[in-house]
Every structure is written in C-alpha cells, then in structure tokens.
C-alpha cells in the first residue's frame, strides 16, 4: 500500500461492526497506521450517524466525510457540497407496497427515511435495534428479499440508482448520486491514486459504483471485505 495514495473507507462492515463499536486496541492500531497517510470516510448514513459510529480521534484525523451515499461532503466541519432531492410519490407508493407484501413477520413502521440526495428503505424499519437487524440479515440472506426488491425497483425506475446497503436497507437516489461522487471529487481535487475498501462492492451493492469508477479511470484499487479484521489485514495492521 502506498502512503502517497488517498484511502477511502466505507464505515459499516469495514471499520466498524454493526453490532459493536471499535475496540480500544483497534482504534489505537488504526491511528498508528494513519500517520503520514490521507483518508476519507464514505457512508450511506447521514453525517451525524457516521460521526456517532467512530471515535472522535478517527473523525478528526480524516480528511473529510462523504455521507448519504456521497451526497454531502464535510471537510473539517465545513460543508463543501450538499445535494438535495425529493423522492417522487410514485416511488414512495411502490415502497409502501413492498413493505406491505413482505412476508417478514417483524416489520417496522418507519420504513423509509430521506437524507441528502437519497432515500433509505428498510422493511424492518430505519431505527431497528441491533438484534432485529441481525435477525433480518439472516432471513434476508436466505430469502434474498432485498435483491428481489432492488432488481424490481431498478427496472421500474431506470432513472434512479437502487443499491443494497448495510444489513437491512436499500438506498435509492437519482442516477449518479451514488458513492462514486467521492472518487470523482477526489480525482478532481487530488492528483493521487485511490484505494477504496467497502463491503458491498458486488453489482447492486451500494459500493459497486465507486469500484466501477476507479476501474473505468484506472486510477485506483478496491477491496471487498466482510469485516474490520479483513480491512486491518489489507492495511497490514494485523
């Protein structure tokens, strides 16, 4: 890994586990690795959500935070850009139908949330507990419900990007309002190679677009990991 590269880290599953915060030893090891390197944080959650997932020491060490699928960039407390989008009524009606006909028994009422430039949808509810997320994730891996919904929505709304994210949700946004906004912004503002680490790099996953962008422009590498332990091994931290 070159220290001259710009690193981009997805949050869930790559630096943190959804079920627990970073251990103190991991924080220390990561901060030691950070010396002399530049990195950005990239996530599907809101800026405040991302900041709540990581210790302040890591947040402050980052060059900036691309939140809401890259639709907002904050650098050292200053908003660099922020996209706005109002989901069409037709989309909201379609999401309601999917929520109603889902056979999953433990559904939540707060099934969608609008963020900067995007919408987040979840059958079990946006604010589901860790335990309920784990249960749904296990059921979804068997039923493939999110993949079914993602493919259907993408076909019905070709002008939108529909992507699977996290353990329980689907991210919807206008075409191009995806995480590749992060790599495009860095390409425009830095003349360095990029290294991206995410956990949803497969087609239809919410990290796929940034991986495609790096491949298309031949100016970076990407890695798909299952957990923070894999991230640390890639970085030669452990």
d(CA 7, CA 186): 10
**Helix, strand, or coil here: 5?**
coil
Rg (CA), the chain: 17
- Region of 76 please: left (phi>0), alpha (psi -120 to 50) or beta: left
Task: Enter the pTM of the model.
Answer: 0.91
Contacts of 141 (CB under 8 A, 6+ apart): none
**Helix, strand, or coil here: 207?**
coil
**Helix, strand, or coil here: 197?**
strand
Per-residue pLDDT of the chain (238 residues; tens, 9 = 90+): 556 899 999 988 899 876 677 888 899 999 999 999 999 999 999 999 999 989 999 999 999 999 999 999 999 999 999 999 999 999 999 999 999 999 999 999 999 999 999 999 999 999 888 899 999 999 999 999 999 999 999 999 999 999 998 889 999 999 999 999 999 999 999 989 999 999 999 999 999 999 999 999 999 999 999 999 999 999 998 6
């Amino acid at each position: 890994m070159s220290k001259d590269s710009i690193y981009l880290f997805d949050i869930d599953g790559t630096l943190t586990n959804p079920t627990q915060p970073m251990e103190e030893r991991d924080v220390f090891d990561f901060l030691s690795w950070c010396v002399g390197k530049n990195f950005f944080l990239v996530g599907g959650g809101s800026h405040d959500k991302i900041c709540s997932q990581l210790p302040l020491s890591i947040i402050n060490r980052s060059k900036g935070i691309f939140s809401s699928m890259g639709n907002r960039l904050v650098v050292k407390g200053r908003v660099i850009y922020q996209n706005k989008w109002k989901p069409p009524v037709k989309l909201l009606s379609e999401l309601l139908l999917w929520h109603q006909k889902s056979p999953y028994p433990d559904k939540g009422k707060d099934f969608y949330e609008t963020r900067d430039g995007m919408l987040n949808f979840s059958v079990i509810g946006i604010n589901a507990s860790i335990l309920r997320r784990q249960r749904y994730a296990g059921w979804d891996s068997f039923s493939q419900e999110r993949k079914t919904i993602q493919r259907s929505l993408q076909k019905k709304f070709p002008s939108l990007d529909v992507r699977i994210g996290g353990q329980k949700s689907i991210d919807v946004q206008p075409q191009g309002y995806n995480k590749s906004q992060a790599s495009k912004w860095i390409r425009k503002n830095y003349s360095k190679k990029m290294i991206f680490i995410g956990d949803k790099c497969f087609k239809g996953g919410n990290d796929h677009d940034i991986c495609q962008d790096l491949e298309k422009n031949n100016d970076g590498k990407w890695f798909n990991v299952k957990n923070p332990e894999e991230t640390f091994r890639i970085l030669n931290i452990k």
